Chain A
Amino acid sequence: MERSLTQIALFAALVAALGLIPQLTLAFGVPITAQSLGIMLCGTVLGSRRGGLAALLFVGLVALGLPLMAGGRGGLGLFASPTAGFLIGFPVAAFVTGLVMERMRGVAVVWAAGIAASVGGIVVLYAFGITGLSLALGKAWLEAALLVTAFLPGDAIKAVLTALITAALYRARPTSVASRA
């Protein structure tokens, strides 16, 4: 019980810290915020329940007014902005990522994590994000979907990184990957 609680809290803090660390340059020199990478890792490492709760805690604290989002942003305004869908989708994305990860126990960790991160962190998250965007901008769903395609390559890279990092963690400390334990 205590361990679940501290893992949830520490992963919420990790997602925040990943957004605050300046210039975390990812592959190919593209400087992208690692925050959604943190959300994917919540799911692949902690599993559906704890991962989803960690993301929910993070989003809840942003709503309370803490500047935890990349660039020190936060507060209720983010929930009224065009990108609100992505923020609201974070807990669901982490939960689905964990769920897919748990359902693929027979598959090698690197593939399971990659597929889980793509389904949860991209498909589910974008579904929420695009819906929010289309509501705020008064656009049709498909038009809004076109707008976010620019971010797809970055998120695809993050899904690959999630797979590599989760697999490396599993090799080094198998018991740490709770979604497999």
Chain B
Amino acid sequence: MISLTSPVETWAHRWPAGAKLLALCMASVALFAASAVWMQAVAAGGIVLLYALPGAVFLRYGMRRLWPLWPFVALVLLWHLFIGATAEGAMIALRMLNAVALANLVTMTTSLAAMMDVVRVLLTPLRALGLNLRAVELAVALVIRFTPVLTAKGGMLAMAWRARSRRRAGWRVILPFLVLALDDADHVAEALRARGGL
């Protein structure tokens, strides 16, 4: 499966993932503390600059990923226009866009493997409480492998339905879908046990 890491190599790809996540946390806290519209505007300018540095492709892709927020931006602006607090509305809308854009930036410049390393470090203390790290890693790998498998099987079920019915596959295909997933889980569990288990 393709993760959301940007294929455009940037300088930030080589930075340690832990540092980027820590910086994101602090920047997000700062964003939510900055309650003046000019502060948010300055932050927005800085973020656009960060997106623009790696080139036009990166900038376009990054901006497109903010598009799903438009209903919320429109809602906030209209609402605050209506109650006559335009500055506050602009501040909230900008803050929302800033926070999401910054977080997206970390996702776009950090590979799945680097993220997984951070998770491993964070989960290590929990080993004392009996957490099996190998099991967590195996579960992650299984989800990554089985999401496309199950999606394909679900598509087959929908097609099988269409071969027999004039209507589109409705909620009724979810039951066989569920059974498929449970069967797969049993088979994989047996295969794991046959190979020495966890």
Residues of A within 8 A of B (CB): 1-3, 5-14, 16-18, 20-21, 23-27, 34, 37, 41, 45, 57-58, 60-61, 64-68, 71, 73-82, 136-138, 147, 161, 164-165, 168-169, 172-173, 176
Residues of B within 8 A of A7 (CB): 182, 185, 189
Q: Which of chain B's residues 66-85 have a Cβ closer than 8 Å to chain A?
A: 68-69, 72, 75-76
Closest 7 pairs (CB-CB, A-B): A75-B107, A9-B142, A77-B104, A76-B103, A13-B146, A17-B150, A80-B99
Which stretch of B36-44, B48-56, B108-116 is in the interface? Answer: B108-116
How extensive is the interface on chain B, given as a class?
35 or more
A136 to B135 CA separation, bound complex (whole angstroms): 35
Decide: A169 and B103 in contact? CB cutoff 8 A. no
Q: Is the CB of A26 within 8 A of B107?
A: no
Against A, the Cβ 8 Å flags (1 = close, 0 = not) of B173-186 are: 11101110110111
- State whether A75 and B4 are in contact (beta carbons under 8 Å apart), knowing that A11-B181, A81-B69, A168-B175 are contacts in the complex: yes
Do most interface residues of chain A lie in helix, strand or loop, or is the interface mixed? helix
B188 on the A face (CB < 8 A):
yes
Complex Cα distance, B159 from A100, in Å, reads 35
CB of B24 within 8 Å of the partner chain:
yes
Q: Is B164 an interface residue (CB 8 A)?
A: no
Alpha-carbon distance between A27 and B108 when the two chains are bound, in angstroms: 37
Q: How far is the CA of A113 from the CA of B108 in the complex (A)?
A: 39
Q: Does B198 sit within 8 A of A, measured CB to CB?
A: yes
**In the bound complex, do residue B154 and residue A176 qualify as a contact, i.e. CB atoms below 8 Å apart?**
no
A25 to B102, CA, bound (A): 35
